[in-house]
Copies of this chain bind each other. A is one copy, B any other.
Amino acid sequence: VSKTTKDQLGNLAAKSIDAGEIPAVILVRPQLGENIGAACRAMLNFGLTDLRLVAPRDGWPNPSADALAAGAIDVLNNAKLFPDTASALADIHYCLAATARRRELELPVVGTDVVGGELRTQINQGRHTAIMFGPEKAGLTNDDVVLADAIITYPINPAFQSLNLAQAVGVFSYIWAASESTAPPPVFDDVQSVPAKREDLVRMFEHLEKELHQSGFFFPEAKTDLMRRNIRAPFTRAKMTEQEVRTMRGIIKALAKGRGHAHKSVQYKDKTS
């Protein structure tokens, strides 16, 4: 049993969250309060305190989470609640999706041996990082995963892949803590551009999809979701910078607003001819 006082935990939680020096743990549509509580405890065991909950099934707060959080109740109380995955990721620059399932998505898989170093490198460059875990039964949907930069998958027994949610969080939290001594130093600090926040990327997707919808691109309509995911994947994978997202918004606008421009250019031609 921990001898740590509530005040100490509170300070740790507040300090770490403000500093942005640790990855956020995002539980997407978690089902059991017990797993949320147990996940909190495992997080704090390994120094993680930024918990985000996307639409927990049984509402929030959830009394059945409290008991299993044990001494990590402050992590639970500081958890942030979001209606959907995109809003939970709004301020995040680099996001991992934890999944054991095969995906049709073209996303890189980052090994458990290098993921801690990758996260620390990102954090050293001032980026906000996160890892997403899906609901107990179904795991993350493809719509969730396509918002991630990379997939992380554990070396799991193929004959028994059903990993408990809190265990999955615990293993990641351990990996994070164990990577402290192996983090590579930050390099090329001064030439790094600012990566786009997930929020900006999602707005770009919505802009593109709106224009594609209006041009009749999504056909047959039953395939719209699949097509949307396939369109999003390479853009996410490219880890676009803020400037590149702005450029892409300009491209979409220029191509879609062609009507006006074409009109002008026709008028211009007419004048010079």
Q: A46 contacts B157, CB within 8 Å?
A: yes
Bitwise, A41-66 to B at CB < 8 A (1) or not (0) is 11011110000000000000000000
Q: B113 contacts A182, CB within 8 Å?
A: yes
Q: A211 contacts B255, CB within 8 Å?
A: yes
Question: Is A78 an interface residue when CB atoms closer than 8 A count as contact?
Answer: no
Contacts of A113 in B (CB 8 A): 178, 182
From B38, B161, B171, B177, A156 is in contact (CB under 8 Å) with B177
Question: Is A86 an interface residue when CB atoms closer than 8 A count as contact?
Answer: no
From B44, B153, B166, B235, A157 is in contact (CB under 8 Å) with B44
* Distance in angstroms between the alpha carbons of A162 and B71 in the assembled complex: 8
* Distance in angstroms between the alpha carbons of A212 and B180 in the assembled complex: 47
Question: Is A187 an interface residue when CB atoms closer than 8 A count as contact?
Answer: yes
A51 shortest CB reach to chain B, Å: 14
From B1, B161, B185, B188, A2 is in contact (CB under 8 Å) with B161
Q: A9 contacts B171, CB within 8 Å?
A: no
From B41, B157, B185, A155 is in contact (CB under 8 Å) with B185
From B112, B183, B216, B227, A265 is in contact (CB under 8 Å) with B216
Question: Is A124 an interface residue when CB atoms closer than 8 A count as contact?
Answer: no
A135 shortest CB reach to chain B, Å: 11
Number of chain A residues close to chain B: CB under 8 A: 97
Question: Is A103 an interface residue when CB atoms closer than 8 A count as contact?
Answer: yes
From B111, B162, B185, A184 is in contact (CB under 8 Å) with B111
With A164-B38, A170-B171: A157-B45 Cβ-Cβ less than 8 Å: yes
- Interface of A, secondary structure class, is helix
- Give how many copies assemble into the complex: 2
Q: A212 contacts B251, CB within 8 Å?
A: yes
* Distance in angstroms between the alpha carbons of A97 and B167 in the assembled complex: 21
Contacts of A9 in B (CB 8 A): 159-160
* Contact residues of A between 1 and 24, Cβ < 8 Å to B: 1-2, 4, 8-9, 12
Question: Which 7 A-B residue pairs are closest in the complex by CB-CB distance?
Answer: A258-B259, A259-B262, A255-B255, A2-B162, A238-B238, A234-B238, A217-B254
* Interface of A toward B, CB cutoff 8 Å: 1-2, 4, 8-9, 12, 38, 41-42, 44-47, 70-72, 100, 102-104, 106, 109-113, 137, 151, 153-164, 166-167, 170-171, 174, 177-178, 180-185, 187-188, 190-191, 193, 208, 211-212, 214-217, 227, 230-231, 233-235, 237-241, 243-244, 247-248, 250-252, 254-267
